[in-house]
Chains A and B, each alone.
Chain A
Amino acid sequence: MAPGREERPGGGGTRRLSAASLEERLDEVLFAAQSRRTTTDLARNLADLPRVQQDMVLHWTEVATQTYAEVAWLLPKLAPRAVGLLDAEHFGTWVLSALDAYDRVGAREAMQTLRAVEAYAASLERVAVAVDFGQEEMRLSRLLQGLSGRPLGLRAGVSAWTDTETLYLPARMDLLPTADENRRLYKATTALLWAQTRHGTFGSADLDLESALSRFPDRERALEWLAVLEAVRLEAVIADELPGLAAEIQALRGPWPDALMPLVPRLHRPDATLADSLALLEHCADTEAPALPHCGRLDPAAALAVRSERIARDIQVLRKALAVMKAAGCMKPGGDEEPLVTAQGAGDAPAQVKIEGDLQALPPEGRAAARSLVQDLGEIPPECLVPAGPGLYDPEARPRQAEEKDEPVPPPACDYRYDEWDYHRHAYRKLWCHLYEHEVREGDSNYVPEVKQRYAGLIAQIRRRFEALRGETRMLGRQPDGEEIDVDAQVEARSDRKSGVEPSSRLFCRRVRHDRSLAAMFMVDMSGSTRGWINDAEREALVMLCEALESLGDAYAIYGFSGWTRTRCDIYRIKDFGQAYDERVKQRIAAIEAKDYTRMGVAVRHLTAILLQQPARHRLLITLSDGRPDDFGDEYRGQYGIEDTRRALQEAHAQGVRGYCVTLDRHGADYLRHMYGPAGYTVLDDVKKLPLKVADIYRRLAT
């Protein structure tokens, strides 16, 4: 390009565009001819800008035209002012924010946004240093978890405060001049709020905060002061345990304000408590409280409500735990008088209770409740150490005795007890289901041979197909090391040596196993609804499966399940993992019969537990069923049962057990997907296909 000659705009050159060519270009972009407006002034406006900025303005003007022409006309006018305030990136975001305002609100708003370029630039400066709660949440919540004590929630709010169970932090922190400092401020505030809940800002067993505050006529000011005084006191507490964190807080807050200086020594004494803060409050509550960036505000009303509710709950849990220990025989049976119970344990972690002179470890939930009580009250009130009686209100259970009256009297002792998931409550009902494991009595010894005869062709086919999948052990010869000497290699080496050739050092055999390492559990629905065809199909399907799995060599077990309410969940053992597929197993398959109801969750939990004992790399839990989870007379029918089963399957999954369901319920697609996931089930439309399909399904799953 010849020097002095002007470049075409957008041509990628570096020379500044003249007013004339800018005008030409703007006319093009803004369709000036149609709007009968002239771009001469606009072009003159841009003529002095460097070429890069000229191109930038032209580019964004073109972008703006696509949305709203007026914005595009305004842009070149404001551009000289804007480029002085914004860099290239923010110039773009400025235009986009105007276009965004047009989309959201309208033309007026868009023009205003664009004109307010100074305000936009100023907000950018703040944005650069502001830190969002969302960015920091993960880190802060881990910090909180690391700091000991009761678990605390973390949430964004308007200001920083805590109700003793959740810490609320401002959604955005931009008080301090740099982002890093704002980040630290989040941390310091979190630490202080944590310390408030951990070290008695909301009172103890013998200090009631609310009544102490009632002495002050100006409650708002008293609270402001108290927050500040507590911040001073708690900083010393933090410094004792976490000096690094305290140093960080100190650096953030700077030196104490003058008003606080005389008060600091008393609050920094190692034995200072809330009482000291309250005593000092008497002297200063009539002046203006100094401001500390991290101290947040106090809301004793909200905090004390949450606190007293929690204390009541903890006392119940603790007393219940003691009652369970008593019932479990930890306490000696004796007269009517209550056993002597005293808490043991140094400082704030009473892990044991002394019952009639014997030390007993509390169960985990009892220990957590005890710890929480000590944190709230400074001690465990003596009335909590009385075990709960039978009539005690149970926070775990809703009133439902009326329904349960119809239940059959439970047999004396069950084999296992399992938790059940209550989706209403979003919690487990502890040890809710009573499970009994039965052996199926042997049935007709001719049944299996008959089935095998009937399906002889299919079985031969299945066997062939499955044999091909079987893993084998191979001996690899001529290895550098291994269990055995490779005689061939050894002979060769000797002859090599004799003839003066360097012998190979690969003289060993090594056994390599292609291990499938898979354990499969078949969970067969034995509910009343399977009576008839379905039961026959299930049994035939099991015969097919056994034939297939025998040729494959996978470890497998077969259990049936049924039941009648939560107090009688039955599991029928048909084939154990350790058992061979022998005459007795065959007779038990023959004896599978329809029984009662389908309480599925507990069966999944029990069979998962059995499956987990298998030393296999992959574990499969396959359910053969004809319908949704269901049980007699209580809410298990419907969503409750589906949610509990889903939960049980999730638990199984977390332990490495993959669930799969083969069902005959054609309407099952809606809930099965919810329970097993999209790829976790097969619906067969015809009962008769079950025996033919089930081996195939297994092959698909297990290879």
Chain B
Amino acid sequence: MTDIIATLAPQLEHLEKEPYYHPIGDEVALFEAAYARRLPVLLKGPTGCGKTRFVEYMAWRLKRPLATVACHDDLTTADLIGRYLIVGDETVWVDGPLTAAVRAGAICYLDEIVEARKDTTVVIHPLADSRRLLAVDKRGELLSAPDDFMLVISYNPGYQSVLKEIKPSTRQRFVALDFDYPEPAVEAAIVAREGGVDADTARRLVKLAELTRNLKGAGLDEGASTRLLVHAGQLIGAGVAPATACTAAVARALSDDPDMTGSLDDLVHAVF
């Protein structure tokens, strides 16, 4: 019985090994200060620029377990807080990731919060201000978050869609950290380290990213992210020819439009 519940309950991630993260500005100090003052944090930035990795790194650094929720438009309050399940002959309460994180004093990371339904995001409001409370209505429970609990949310302000905006009432509860793609030299170091490629290849991959980022708004919604560069680097490390690796990991990943992928191929071939 307890075994079943254990498998149903959300798993908190305990990071034993230091995740690789290259600080870009003062985000680590800011995050630590926010943690010390029990303030929730909002991470803004384009996709694949290192937001999730940063949270993992900070969880490791602060020695807190981490509960990550990838938000989607069907995410209900119950998905965050918990629900009754029927196991065998009884109803059993199972905590959702948010409740579990509050109980354990963990860091709860809601990734791409704008994807979640608006009525779901409001449940974090009492947790995200000075009250630091989580109401578990179905159990009639009111949890007070321990000092080492921290709420982190992220979103990508670059989305064109007008529907995907974060409500001011949500946004204004958070300390906001801006993320962007790092400076070329730093990004090259990251790509070299994570992608396992030499410095010259990393430099070229970053150059390619720069070229594609210049195309943003001209048919591309986003330029190549650091993550895509790392993928390309890993393929190159596995023995794939650089141009082929970039075509697969960058050009094809950015667009389906044949004209656009043709142009992206041109850029790939300009660099490799």
Instruction: Type the 1/0 row for A483-507, where 1 means its CB is closer than 8 Å to any CB of B.
Output: 1010000100000000000000001
Taking a contact as CB atoms under 8 Å apart, the answer to whether B86 and A655 are in contact is no
**Which chain B residues numbered 112 to 146 have a C-beta less than 8 Å away from chain A?**
118
Contact of B204 among A243, A483, A617, A656 (CB under 8 A): A243
* CB within 8 Å: A-B pair count: 73
Q: Which residue of B lies closest to A144 (CB)?
A: B214
* Bound-complex Cα distance A443 to B84 (A): 54
Query: Is the CB–CB distance between A145 and B215 below 8 Å?
Result: yes
Min distance, Cβ A170 to any Cβ of chain B, angstroms: 19
**B263 contacts which chain A residues (CB < 8 A)?**
138-139, 142-143, 146
A507 near B86: Cβ-Cβ < 8 Å: yes
> Does A142 contact B83, Cβ atoms closer than 8 Å?
no
Given A490-B86, A617-B163, A242 and B266 contact (CB-CB distance below 8 Å): no
In the complex, B271 has a CB within 8 A of chain A: yes
Q: Does B207 make an interface contact (CB < 8 A)? A: yes
A146 CA to B270 CA, complexed, in Å: 10
Q: A245 at interface (Cβ–Cβ under 8 A)?
A: yes
Q: Which residue of A lies closest to B268 (CB)?
A: A244
Q: Closest approach, in angstroms, between the C-beta of A251 and any C-beta of chain B? A: 12
- Contact between chains at A245 and B215 (CB < 8 Å): no
Size range of the chain A interface in the assembly: 20 to 34
From residue B233, how far is it (CB to closest CB) to chain A in Å? 17
Q: Establish whether residues B270 and A242, one from each chain, have CB atoms under 8 Å apart when the complex forms.
A: yes
Q: Is the interface of A mostly helix, strand, loop or mixed?
A: helix
CA distance A252 to B217 in the complex (A): 32
Known: A243-B271, A248-B269, A615-B163. A146 touches B215 (CB 8 A): yes
Interface residues of B in 67-81 (CB under 8 A from A): 76-78
Question: Which residues in B have their C-beta under 8 angstroms from that of A206?
Answer: none
Q: How far is the CB of B255 from chain A (nearest CB, A)?
A: 11
Q: Is A143's CB under 8 angstroms from B78's CB?
A: no
Could you tell me the distance in whole angstroms from the C-beta of A174 to the nearest C-beta in chain B? 21
Is B63 on the interface with A (CB-CB < 8 A)? no
Cα(A248)–Cα(B243), bound, Å: 14
- The verdict on A199 contacting chain B, using a C-beta distance below 8 Å, is no
Taking a contact as CB atoms under 8 Å apart, the answer to whether B266 and A142 are in contact is yes
Alpha-carbon gap, A408 to B94, bound state (A):
68
B232 to chain A, nearest CB (A): 14
Question: How far, in angstroms, from A248 to B268 measured CA to CA in the complex?
Answer: 12
Q: Is B29 among interface residues, defined by CB-CB distance under 8 A?
A: no
Q: Give every chain B residue within 8 A of A129 (Cβ-Cβ).
A: none
Nearest CB in chain B: distance from A71 CB, A? 41
User: Would you call B219 an interface residue if the criterion is a C-beta within 8 Å of the partner chain's C-beta atoms?
Assistant: yes
Do B218 and A142 touch (CB < 8 A)?
Answer: yes
Nearest to A246 among chain B residues (CB) is B270
- Contact A241–B162 (Cβ < 8 Å): no
- A615 and B161 CA atoms in complex are apart in Å by 11
Q: Are B162 and A146 in contact (CB under 8 A)?
A: no
When the two chains form the complex, which single residue of B161, B210, B243, B269 contacts A245, counting CB atoms closer than 8 Å? Answer: B269
Q: Given A244-B243, A483-B83, A485-B86, are A143 and B162 neighbors across the interface (CB < 8 Å)?
A: no
B256 at the interface (CB under 8 A from A): no
- By size class, the interface of chain B is 20 to 34
B259 interface residue (CB < 8 Å to A): yes
A324 to chain B: which residues have CB within 8 Å?
A: none
State in angstroms the CA–CA spacing of A244 and B272 once bound together. 4
Contact of A145 among B161, B162, B165, B214 (CB under 8 A): B214
**Inter-chain contact B167/A615, CB cutoff 8 Å:** yes
A142 touches B84 (CB 8 A): no
A 650-666 contacts with B by CB, 8 A: 655-656
Q: Which residues of B contact A656 (CB under 8 A)?
A: 161-163
- Alpha-carbon distance A559/B88, docked complex (angstroms): 59
Q: How far is the CA of A191 from the CA of B266 in the complex (A)?
A: 12
Judge whether A187 is part of the interface by a CB distance below 8 angstroms. Answer: yes
Chain B residues near A619: list those with CB within 8 A: 162
**Residues in B neighbouring A35, C-beta threshold 8 A:** none
Q: Are A147 and B214 in contact (CB under 8 A)?
A: yes
Contact assessment for A148 and B214 in the assembled complex, using a CB-CB cutoff below 8 Å:
yes
The reply on A612 being an interface residue by CB < 8 A is yes
Q: Does B212 have its Cβ within 8 Å of any Cβ on chain A?
A: yes
Q: List A contacts of B23 (CB < 8 A).
A: none
A242 & B271 in contact (Cβ 8 Å cutoff)? yes
Contacts of B161 in A (CB 8 A): 656
| B 101-119 binary contact with A (CB < 8 Å = 1; else 0) | 0000000000000000010
Contact of A142 among B207, B215, B271, B272 (CB under 8 A): B215
Q: Which residues of B contact A483 (CB under 8 A)?
A: 76-78, 83
Q: Mark B240-272, 1 if CB is under 8 A from A, else 0.
A: 000100000000000000011011001111111
Smallest Cβ-Cβ distance to A346: which chain B residue: B183
The CA of A142 and the CA of B211, in the complex, are separated in Å by: 10
Chain B residues closer than 8 Å to A615, beta-carbon distance: 118, 163, 165, 167
B10 → A minimal CB distance (Å)? 15
Return chain A residues, CB-CB under 8 Å to B270.
143, 146-147, 191, 242, 244-245, 248
Report A621-659 residues with CB < 8 Å from chain B CB.
Answer: 655-656
The answer, among B118, B162, B260, B271, for a CB contact under 8 Å with A612, is B162
Shortest beta-carbon distance, A432 to chain B, in Å?
24
**Which residue of chain A is the closest to B83 with respect to CB atoms?**
A483
Within 8 A of B (CB), among A136-167: 138-139, 142-143, 145-148
Task: Report chain B residues within 8 Å CB of A142.
Answer: 215, 218-219, 260, 263, 266
Minimum CB–CB distance from B122 to chain A (whole Å) comes to 12
Q: Look across to chain A and name the residue whose beta carbon is closest to the beta carbon of B86.
A: A507
The listed residue (A138, A241, A248, A612) touching B207 by CB distance below 8 A is A241
Given A139-B259, A483-B76, A485-B86; A187-B162 close (CB under 8 Å): no
Contacts of B243 in A (CB 8 A): 244
Cα(A426)–Cα(B196), bound, Å: 50
How far does the Cβ of A409 sit from chain B's closest Cβ, in whole Å? 35
Let me know if B2 is at the binding interface, CB within 8 A. no
Give the shortest distance, in Å, between A361 (CB) and chain B (any CB): 13
In the assembled complex, the Cα of A146 lies from the Cα of B223 at a distance in Å of: 10
CB distance from B198 to the nearest CB of A (A): 14
Of all chain A residues, the one with the shortest Cβ separation from B88 is: A497
Query: Known: A485-B86, A615-B163. Contact between A143 and B267, CB under 8 A?
Result: yes
Q: Does B91 contact A (CB under 8 A)?
A: yes
Which A residues are closer than 8 A to B by beta carbons?
Answer: 138-139, 142-143, 145-148, 187, 191, 241-245, 248, 483, 485, 490, 507, 612, 615, 617, 619, 655-656
| 11 cross-chain CB contacts under 8 A | A142-B263, A145-B214, A146-B211, A146-B212, A148-B210, A191-B270, A242-B207, A242-B271, A244-B272, A245-B270, A490-B86
Given contacts A146-B270, A148-B211, A191-B270, 13 further A-B contacts (CB under 8 A): A138-B263, A142-B218, A143-B267, A146-B211, A146-B214, A146-B267, A148-B210, A242-B271, A244-B270, A244-B271, A485-B86, A507-B86, A656-B162
Closest 7 CB pairs of A and B: A142-B263, A245-B270, A146-B211, A656-B162, A242-B270, A244-B272, A244-B269
Q: List residues of chain B with CB under 8 Å of any chain A CB.
A: 76-78, 83-84, 86, 91, 118, 161-163, 165, 167, 204, 207, 210-212, 214-215, 218-219, 243, 259-260, 262-263, 266-272
